[in-house]
Amino acid sequence: MIWRLDAAIARLQYWDELLCVRFNRGAQQRPVVLAFQAVSWLGNGIFWYALMLALLLADAHGGAMPVVHMAFVGAVCTCCYKMVKHHTVRSRPYQVNPLVSANAAVLDRFSFPSGHTLHAIAFSLVACSYYPGLAVLLWPFTLLTALSRVALGLHYPSDVIAGAALGALIAGASFVIA
């Protein structure tokens, strides 16, 4: 039974690396790299802080609660992803595979999970729960943020999936607590 689990994990790792290499190699055209770098840079927090400020300015009476909720979720996300990264210590794809090019600077050393994706999912879920009309802006940006992490060679697809799942879990839990 253990050999089956080992074989399944090996297959998943194979496909994870294969998809990472293919997506990274396929996104090497200069305009594509620049676009993904811009999205990734905005996803470092700039986009989300600007959104919070815009909510406060646009909705002076009702914007405080959504912004506090987003800030709380962001703090929890940061603590969780740092703890997970500290325990998993997974190297980034470009550090392991010479076929993967790093096309952006990293904020920390390890790959698993994607903090950009984690925060993007969590912030989008919270913001859209208060302002459903923001979905047309936030979900495409969130998807591009997740894609940028693999395209830039900084994460494996499984890092992005794990970040998305953890972000959704934290945002979902925040609605139960609130």
- pLDDT of 125 above 90: yes
pLDDT of residue 2: 64
Asked whether the whole model's pTM tops 0.75, one would answer: yes
- CATH classification at residue 124: 1.20.144.10
The percent of residues in the chain predicted with pLDDT above 70, rounded, is 98
- Spatial distance between the Cα atoms of 123 and 106, rounded to a whole number of angstroms: 21
pLDDT of residue 118: 97
- Spatial distance between the Cα atoms of 53 and 34, rounded to a whole number of angstroms: 26
Amino acid identity of 50? A
- pLDDT of 36 above 80: yes
Amino acid identity of 126? V
- pLDDT of 10 above 70: yes
Q: Total structural domains in the chain? A: 1
pLDDT of residue 95: 94
- Spatial distance between the Cα atoms of 176 and 129, rounded to a whole number of angstroms: 13
* pLDDT tens by residue, 39-89: 999 999 999 999 999 999 999 889 899 999 999 999 999 999 999 998 998
- Please give the residue range of the domain that contains residue 144: 2-177
Handedness of CA 98, 103, 105, 110 (dihedral sign): negative
pLDDT of residue 28: 87
pLDDT of residue 107: 83
pLDDT of residue 6: 78
Helix 157-177 and helix 2-26: axis angle, to 10°? 100
Mean pLDDT of the chain: 93
- pLDDT of 26 above 90: no
pLDDT of residue 178: 65
